[in-house]
Copies of this chain bind each other. A is one copy, B any other.
């Protein structure tokens, strides 16, 4: 996208919206009501999947597009314009990956963040119509950033859920100094696809402990030197991916076949061939919009001699 387009007010429909979450507005029902006027915009979604233009942008409509019975979530402000998303009464849980996952790869950074927020919130609302503490109905509060139990004895509030997940490279350096990285295949991966290992952080764990546990459980390796790299929102349905690099001194794999279909050590040359889609590549790497891709690119680009 050219910078001139981004800065132009006249190309409103084509630019990606930079949305201020405007936390202070959420607790003010009058302010939210006032933002629901003619200037309000609605993120168009197909259930909880994105609707995307040919040139890879989210599509926005008006509040007149909302199906009756849908709840509205306040995404934030684009300037002084209220931005909303609709929560469908029900959506197919089966579409959790597939279309949305592919579409996510077409979106730029701002649009991906907006879509990720809307999709995670919509999924959360649709699955929290009842109070998990007492079983009574819940109602939306704070512009969609809270739900409240309607039982007057309980009244428990509940907030959108984000599940932290660790995803990591594991490096082993052979006796003759060759760096290799561990890649694995989840049980439901597409044919030929390999990626970094990953798993949910459990209560009581740090990032670094979760990395060590997951690699030990899934591949039988003891790791050290765990180093955080970067994070990514991943709305399938609502994860915070925490990407790390780790090392091991003992490369003998003991694969847990209930978790992984396969895992193997990959040389820099073989990873380069896969990442660059060269003839003779031996596997498909994770797609560019997945944080695993960035993590593997970092590992590949780091000079062999560099310590971390």
**Contact code string A129-165 (vs B, CB < 8 Å = 1, else 0):** 1111111111000000100000000001011111110
Residues on B with beta carbons closer than 8 Å to the beta carbon of A131: 130, 132, 135
Does more than half of chain A's interface fall in helix, strand or loop, or is it mixed?
Answer: mixed
Is A206's beta carbon under 8 Å from chain B?
yes
**Contact code string A58-98 (vs B, CB < 8 Å = 1, else 0):** 00000000000000000000000000000000000000000
Residues on B with beta carbons closer than 8 Å to the beta carbon of A133: 126-130
Knowing A128-B133, A132-B127, A135-B130 are in contact, say whether A113-B205 is a contact too (CB < 8 A): yes
Interface segment, one of A9-17, A184-192, A233-241: A233-241
In the assembly, what is the distance between CA of A113 and CA of B208, in Å?
Answer: 13
Residues on B with beta carbons closer than 8 Å to the beta carbon of A132: 127-132, 138, 158
Chain multiplicity (copies): 2
Residues on B with beta carbons closer than 8 Å to the beta carbon of A135: 129-131, 135-137
Residue on B with the closest CB to A23?
Answer: B217
Knowing A129-B132, A233-B206 are in contact, say whether A162-B160 is a contact too (CB < 8 A): no
A195 nearest CB across to chain B (Å) = 19
**Contact code string A105-124 (vs B, CB < 8 Å = 1, else 0):** 00000000111111011001
Is A228's beta carbon under 8 Å from chain B?
yes
**Contact code string A184-217 (vs B, CB < 8 Å = 1, else 0):** 0000000000000000111111111100010001
Closest 4 CB pairs of A and B: A117-B204, A120-B203, A130-B135, A116-B204
